Structure 1
Amino acid sequence: MDTFSGASFSIKPYTMLPALVLVLLVINGVQSAKILGVFPMSARSHYILGSSLMRVLAERGHDVTVVSPFGEENPPKKGSYRDVILTGFVEEHDRKVKELNIFKKEKMNFLLLAPLMAKIMTDMTEQTLNHTNVQKLINSNEQFDVVIVEEFMNHAHKAFASHFKGNLVVLSTLGANSWINDLVGNPTPLSYIPDVVLGYSSNMTFMQRLWNALTYFYRQMINQIYVLPRHNQLIKDYFPNGSDIQDILYNASIMLINSHQSTNQPVPYVPSMVDIGGFHIKPPKKLPQDLQEFLDNAKEGVVYFSLGSNMKSSLLPPEKRQAFLDSFAKLKQQVLWKWEEDTLPGKPTNVRLGKWLPQQDILAHPNVKLFVTHAGLLSTIETIYHGVPILATPLGGDQNMNAQQMANEGFGLVVNFPDISEQTLTEKLTELLNNPKYLSNAKKRSEFFHDRLVAPLDTAVYWVEYVIRHGGAPHLRVAGLDLPWYKYLLLDVIAFSALVGIICLYLLVKVVKISTRCCCKQKKHKLKKQ
């Protein structure tokens, strides 16, 4: 990565105070702790985040256990690292992805999507708890100092912390939003923080703010009526002497957030929320020789196209696939396409295929001029890190929000999936490749990302060890977590004020009426005298 230079200084990413950081880590280091990580999602992008953190904790000398659908083929050589694998989860996930084929699905109405998503995640939570390998762990006599749980509507998994008598750390794969803010008492101003799936920017219209507010209260209703009671029952069913979910849900010592001001809009944070966006990114490695030569020899540059680890571009509908082929054929640039099949009928001569491609290392190559992506958060963070412009084709979830954000910041454009055609793709590709403002904005955004006092992964490790050193760090807990919801929202104060206002208004009306009667009587009395 290039250094960032100014008129009178030059710095390298994350090297502002390396000696000081190392000294602090040594001075404030903790003895080897037992740490459990729970990352049940079958999407590899989620596992990449959990694994990045747990591996480095093991390398720092901690005794690490990881519950996930994936296992480490090359576990850390330092420290202690153990996998508790959710066997069968990946195969089931791949089968469902193929059956579902999101490219052919109509966009589901949110009123149906929200409860469906709640049920799917609740079922996944129970499948994890019911897994034979997890049951063995639960019924062991082990204890852990810290339990790190990925947060994705799997509330009952937070009971691992109380069961194993450890401090709870929550890892959010998304930025701060209405799904997670309540867990640590963080405010959620609905006027400029949109729901994850709505795809709005922070500058919402009146109707968008109205829909955003209704969405928030709709989710809250689903949580109170269905989600929390179900997860409370799961805790009772699968954990001996399981506590009530209300005692577990809001008991996180800290929440690690996969976000940063360069990748997400700035929002309020309580002290227990810590930004670690980009902590999974590693220094570029040497590319395979054939791929290195392909990128090196692309004199006009390379357009990199990938829909991530979860979506398969080979499942694209024929008309959408052909639109990409026709638009790519018009480019003078070479195209590197993550394609999961052996062949691609009609492939232009400037297109190279790869079933698996080392995305971070590719984006680091100076000849990569543009990234065509589904705008998943990890892909978005990686392209910001490397300063590459984006053409986003969001498919769902937080991808619409991510795509809107990058378009607003001026380093990318968006083509919504229904609008994909040869014409729209060609127009967007031409604009992005020929207008230098997008590259300039991408490089500026990358500078924001790199300008940090401490690397995000070091920040994550520091705060996990901080929790160990300070017995759960209860001093970071905000008082709002201990208030009943009606007190937190000042409903009792509002009700009292409204009552006083009504009484005052009633008394005022009474006084006016009495005064009016008195005045009328006085006037009548005067008239009689006359």
Structure 2
Amino acid sequence: MKVFSTYFVVALQILLQIGVAQCHKFVKKESKILLLSPFAVPSHNILFEAILEILASTHPEDYQLTYVTNSERKFDNEFENVRMFRQFTVKEFMESFPSAENAPFPFVHVAQFCRQMYANPDFVKLMARGQYDLIIVNGFIHECLFGSLHLMETPFIVFTSTLPPSYVTEPTGNFMPFSIAPVTVTSFSDRMTFTERLQNLGKTLGGKFFVPWIMMPTFESVYYDQFGRHLPRVSEIMRNASLIISNSHFSILPPRPVLPDFIEIGGIHCREGRELPHSLDRFISESENGVILLAFGSMIKWEEIQESFSDAMIAAIASLEQRIIWRLGKDLNTYPEHLARKLNTLKNVMFLKNVPQQDILAHSNVKLFISHGGMLSVMEAVYHAVPILAVPLGMDQKLNMRRITDFGSGIALSFKDVTNHTLTTAISEVIGEHNSSIRQRMKEHSKLFRDRAQSPDEVFLYWVDYVLRHGGTGQFLRSGARDLNILQFYSFDTGAFLVALIFLVMTAIKVLIRFCATYMRKMCSATIQKVKQT
């Protein structure tokens, strides 16, 4: 029976691939696609590079790709069907950001970069109408480019690195119920207590004020200055998106009630491991007690992080028998002297500026991944079945780790609770000889994440081709919810009307009763007077 089911799954996959190939035949040859992601942080570049590679290599004769990016990778040298536009690099973009204390709202800084882009005649020429069959735009802090999307009159797809926020989903009719859809910055699950639902509602309502009244006007002012104030607001332009494609999956984040125009391709960047450099492979393979990968993403600067945190990490690592691969993000000799001196005391550690993260996680001797809990890192760990010990530092990281901890495939520590003791205890809980439950749960979690009828690549290609075939998604795929605001969607307007109607009816009844009572009293009084007179 098991053999039969295996053959059945293989046959089903072959049929699906044939079906995708047959559908692709109807796509116009040399479809011109524009990928817009010039203000990306490094993790977003990883995703855009993944989808660019899929488009450039799967059917190179069918797609002509233009990639507007800050990525330093030269795709136009790798693929003949790719041309690139880069006004500044991701390094220049990230290094120019002021500190959080001096600039609490980073979107203001992005808007300044966007003005620089519009001041470039080559970029303006690139964004002229009639050049492309499809546009794929980054759905995170790229709204200043939406004025161009409106003027280009080309079908566009919004691509997000994780579950998109409500200001992205709601214009397309994908309203997320407050009761089961935790806000990105929380650590709530989809089964919230009353107190958590109250907090979630408060944060949601705060976002409803902040985004349309503070954040979006900053972006809209950029394209108003460029093209005029006659252009629609971002939310109205977003309503015309053909699809939202999200790097999310129900095994990593809570499932949500979404429409057919919301497509999940979580883990599209995940892949099998490749051969490691000899020195790195030897360092991992020869470790008798296994290896731990320590990587806190591209946004974390160890020289700026709280000293008590780095001291606790160094002390915990010094007590371990395992070897450690520590991604520093920069050369060790460029760190401040006091921190470099502490790091140099560690004898079981290989310090690297950057790491081939997936290739390391794919190695069988890697026992644990210590991370910040970023979405891409979490997906890669689950894909390769490596347990996670995370210290979320902000953004969506707490939410990412909530599903992991609920499933039992990893541990999350609060930043304020990190000490030498809490770290060593958590590490021992994951990789201790007698503690195999977390490792086993991660293997099960990995199976759930990988178990799909179609790979993320196939799903992505199908829907890109779908939009190209039909020149958008038309009215059949679009819900009428796109034409409703949040009050109409949740029937607050009709509910208010019914409450008002009931109030009016009750008031009318009350007035009628009073009138009848007054009339009856008068009638009775008149009757009594007549009786007395007679």
Q: Could you say which residue in structure 1 is the equivalent of 2:47?
A: 49
> Which deviates further from its counterpart, 204-213 or 466-475?
204-213
Quote the Cα distance in structure 2 between the aligned partners of 1:152 and 1:11: 42
Task: Give the CA deviation at 1:219.
Answer: 1.7
Alignment partner, residue 173 of structure 1: 161
Deviation at 1:126, TM superposition (A): 3.6
2:322 to 304, 325, 333: 333
Residue equivalent to 1:207: 195
2:15 paired with 1:25: no
- TM-score w.r.t. length of structure 1: 0.88
Q: Is residue 85 of structure 1 aligned with residue 86 of structure 2?
A: yes
**Pairing 1:156–2:154 present:** no
Alignment partner of 2:358 out of 357, 360, 375:
360
Alignment of 1:295-310 (within 5 A): 295-310=284-299
Q: Which runs of 5+ in 2 are unaligned?
A: 334-339
Cα distance between partner residues in 2 of 1:213 and 1:333? 44
User: What amino acid sits opposite 1:479 in the alignment?
Assistant: G
Paired AA for residue 175 in structure 2 = P
Instruction: Letter of the 1:488 partner, please give it.
Output: F
What letter matches 1:134 in structure 2?
Answer: F
Stretch of structure 1 that moved more, 15-24 or 187-196 = 15-24
Distance across 2 between alignment mates of 1:172 and 1:68: 15
- Give the match's secondary structure for 1:356: coil
CA contact (8 A) 1:176 1:257 kept: yes
Counterpart for residue 372 of structure 1:
370
Instruction: Pick the aligned partner of 1:270 from 259, 266, 284.
Output: 259
In the alignment, what sits opposite 1:281?
270
Residue matched to 1:496: 497
Query: C-alpha displacement at 1:454, in angstroms?
Result: 1.1
**Aligned partners of 1:15 and 1:75: how far apart in 2?**
36
Q: Structure 1 residues 118 and 318 mapped into 2: Cα distance closer, same or farther (>3 Å)?
A: closer
Residue in structure 2 matched with residue 64 of structure 1 by the alignment: 65
Q: Which amino acid in structure 2 is aligned with residue 257 of structure 1?
A: S
Describe the SS at the equivalent of 1:190: coil
- How far residue 162 of structure 1 moved from its aligned partner, in angstroms, is 3.4
- Alignment of 1:404 with 2:402, yes or no, is yes
- What SS does the aligned partner of 2:503 have? helix
Write the letter of the residue equivalent to 2:500: L
CA–CA separation in structure 2 for the residues paired with 1:407 and 1:164? 45
C-alpha separation between the residues in 2 aligned to 1:71 and 1:480? 40
Q: Normalising by structure 2, what TM-score?
A: 0.87
Looking at structure 2, the residues matched to 165 and 519 of structure 1 have their Cα atoms a distance apart, in angstroms, of 71
In terms of mean alpha carbon deviation, does 158-167 or 512-521 score higher? 512-521
Q: Match of 1:495, as an amino acid?
A: A
- Counterpart residue identity of residue 446, structure 1: S
Structure 2 counterpart SS, 1:266? coil
Q: Which moved more, 1:339-348 or 1:28-37?
A: 339-348
Aligned counterparts of 1:357 and 1:89: Cα–Cα separation in 2: 18
SS in 2 for 1:336: strand
Count of residues in correspondence between the two structures? 512
Question: Could you tell me how far apart the structure 1 residues matched to 2:312 and 2:217 are?
Answer: 47
Cα distance in 2 between the residues matched to 1:11 and 1:152:
42
Distance 1:430 1:88, change over 3 A: closer
1:136-147 aligned within 5 A: 136-138=125-127, 143-147=131-135
Give the drift of 1:7.
Answer: 8.7
**Match among 327, 332, 340 for residue 342 of structure 1:** 332
Which residue in 1 is equivalent to 2:507? 506
**Residue among 409, 414, 417 paired with 1:416:** 414
* Cα distance per residue 1:253-296 (max 9 Å; x no partner): 01101001111111111110000010012221100011111111
Query: Partners in 1 of 2:361 and 2:31 — Cα distance?
Result: 36
Pairwise CA RMSD of aligned residues? 3.0
Residue 283 of structure 2 aligns to which amino acid in structure 1?
Answer: F
Give me the whole-angstrom Cα distance separating, in 1, the residues matched to 2:213 and 2:54: 40
Aligned to 2:443: 443
Q: 1:79 to 1:161 in 2, by over 3 A?
A: farther
